[in-house]
Amino acid sequence: MATPTTIDLDLQSVRRQFPSLSRKVDGQTVVYLDNPAGTQVPQRVIDRTAEYWRTMNANRGSAFVTSEETEALLAEVRRAAAVFLNAASADEIVFGANMTTLTFAVSRAIGRELRPGDEILVTRLEHDGNVSPWLALQEQGVVVRFVDIAVPQCTLDMDDFKRQLGPRTRLVAVTHASNAVGTIPDLKAISHAAHAVGAWVWVDAVHYGPHGPIDVRAIDCDFLVCSSYKFYGPHQGILYGRRELLERLRPYKVRPASDEGPSRWETGTQNHECLAGLLGAFEYLADLGGAPRMARPALEAAMDRIQAHERALAARLIDGLQQISGVQIYGITDAEQLDRRAPTVSMTWAPHRPEDLARWLGSHYVFTTHSDHYATELINRLGLAEQGGTLRIGAAHYNTASEVDLVLELLAGYRP
């Protein structure tokens, strides 16, 4: 196999910034291909988190220096997050524990505006964090409909979407990229069609975050959620909401909490040290794009470099898996269409169970994941629940061609 080309990505420099990539277990170097479950973090994130604890650990709203420094830090992180998502204003950014918690919280507030018979469309590509919060609204008579997929490509059936979209549709919940099979739906087309019938669009961008530039204005969504532990940061959730909708909806909150701006959605004291680490993640991406701080051109330059490298790794992995007799890949495999998927590859290899394959790789210090990956609807649709789901191999921009070759070599030599 030829070595994949990259666009201005200094892979050695990148890898030096991630301390965990040099870890050895029993003298063997660890290979992280479990990135869809959470990426490793650069030293900058670790330093930012520790610096917060050392120098400004305080709550907000007090008249002393560390409290004021915390306020300033959180404002800086919010501005950087707005750039990361291309939001019109930092006031459209809300922080929370994680994507799932934020979705449950805001879905309850959205539910206050819904009536029995109103409809919500979700897709069978979703992580359950973008399914169960909407299913919970069935308790008040809301109808939840599922948009189907094509198998085994696992692309969204847009004809089925258009058939199910109608005058009772109030919200469409859709992934930016499937965490199980990598599929990237046409969000612009979905938003255009949803808005034409007066529906809001809720996007789960957790899995897409490390693989491409998120642009809430370009995709024209009304809400978008992501979590920074998927893009080299700490366990921290981020919500974008159109300003008019964040102001219109009524959050569940304690009475003394502010009712102004994004604070009205941020229940309780936020995780300040994680937000400091999040700033470190943004600084890392800015640096990768050639700038000292988060700016949109720097982010887009970083993502161009990331995408070029990751697509080459995905092509190498898919091509190699297709050479192993009996392996079934779920998701887009056409090398000319890799821009329609993230570099996350789910596979089965009958009669071997995914867990056994993952344990074999893990015993050789190559980390992958198995199971339904919380993509319950997708795995059921593929008929794989009883077989234990899939083996999921997910590259990040710090992975190398030799690491991909190693996983292929180990699978080809698998001995149960």
Q: Which of 202, 197, 224 is nearest to 213 (CA)?
A: 224
Average pLDDT over residues 253-260: 90
DSSP assignment string, 174-190: EESS-TTT-B---HHHH
> Is the confidence at residue 1, as pLDDT, over 80?
no
pLDDT for the residue numbered 59: 95
**Could you tell me the CA-to-CA distances from 312 to 121, 343, 397 in Å, in that order?**
34, 9, 10
pLDDT band of residue 258 (cuts 50, 70, 90) is confident
> Is the confidence at residue 139, as pLDDT, over 50?
yes
pLDDT band of residue 5 (cuts 50, 70, 90) is very low
pLDDT for the residue numbered 4: 39
**Mean pLDDT taken over the chain:** 96
pLDDT for the residue numbered 292: 87
User: How far apart are the C-alpha atoms of 297 and 301, rounded to whole Å?
Assistant: 6
pLDDT for the residue numbered 3: 39
Instruction: Please list, in sequence order, all residues whose beta carbon lies within 8 angstroms of the beta carbon of residue 374, skipping any fewer than 6 positions away.
Output: 127, 128, 129, 179
Q: Quick count: other Cβ atoms within 10 Å of Cβ 322?
A: 12
Q: Are 370 and 357 in contact (CB under 8 A)?
A: yes
What are 56-74's pLDDT values in tens digits?
A: 999 999 999 999 999 999 9
User: What counts of helices (H) and strands (E) characterise the chain?
Assistant: 14, 17
User: How far apart are the C-alpha atoms of 102 and 202, rounded to whole Å?
Assistant: 12
User: How far apart are the C-alpha atoms of 46 and 233, rounded to whole Å?
Assistant: 9
pLDDT above 70 coverage of the chain, percent = 98
Region of poorest pLDDT, from 1-15, 68-82, 93-107, 290-304: 1-15
> Is the confidence at residue 86, as pLDDT, over 70?
yes
What are 180-189's pLDDT values in tens digits?
A: 999 999 999 9
> Is the confidence at residue 191, as pLDDT, over 50?
yes
What are 259-270's pLDDT values in tens digits?
A: 988 999 999 999
User: How far apart are the C-alpha atoms of 197 and 120, rounded to whole Å?
Assistant: 12
> Is the confidence at residue 115, as pLDDT, over 60?
yes
pLDDT for the residue numbered 2: 37
pLDDT for the residue numbered 341: 98
pLDDT band of residue 416 (cuts 50, 70, 90) is confident
pLDDT band of residue 197 (cuts 50, 70, 90) is very high
Q: Which of 344, 320, 355 is nearest to 181 (CA)?
A: 344
Tokens 């204005």 label which residue? 217
**Helix H or strand E segment including 276:** helix 272-288
Q: Are 264 and 251 in contact (CB under 8 A)?
A: yes
Instruction: Please list, in sequence order, all residues whose beta carbon lies within 8 angstroms of the beta carbon of residue 201, skipping any fewer than 6 positions away.
Output: 171, 172, 174, 187, 190, 191, 194, 195, 220, 221, 222, 223
User: How far apart are the C-alpha atoms of 373 and 390, rounded to whole Å?
Assistant: 8
> Is the confidence at residue 82, as pLDDT, over 80?
yes
Average pLDDT over residues 318-322: 98
pLDDT for the residue numbered 83: 98
Q: Are 314 and 4 in contact (CB under 8 A)?
A: no
What are 329-373's pLDDT values in tens digits?
A: 999 999 999 999 999 999 999 999 999 999 999 999 999 999 999
CB burial class (10 A; 0-12, 13-18, 19+) of residue 339?
A: exposed
pLDDT for the residue numbered 311: 97
Q: Where are the alpha helices (DSSP H) in 99-149?
A: 99-111, 132-135
**Could you tell me the CA-to-CA distances from 336 to 74, 189, 206, 221, 411 in Å, in that order?**
42, 21, 25, 27, 25
Q: Are 240 and 223 in contact (CB under 8 A)?
A: yes
- pTM of full prediction above 0.85: yes
pLDDT for the residue numbered 213: 98
Write down all domains in the chain, each with its CATH number in brackets.
11-40+304-412 (3.90.1150.10), 47-287 (3.40.640.10)
Structure tokens at 331: 């998701």
What are 213-244's pLDDT values in tens digits?
A: 999 999 999 999 999 999 999 999 999 999 99
pLDDT for the residue numbered 330: 98
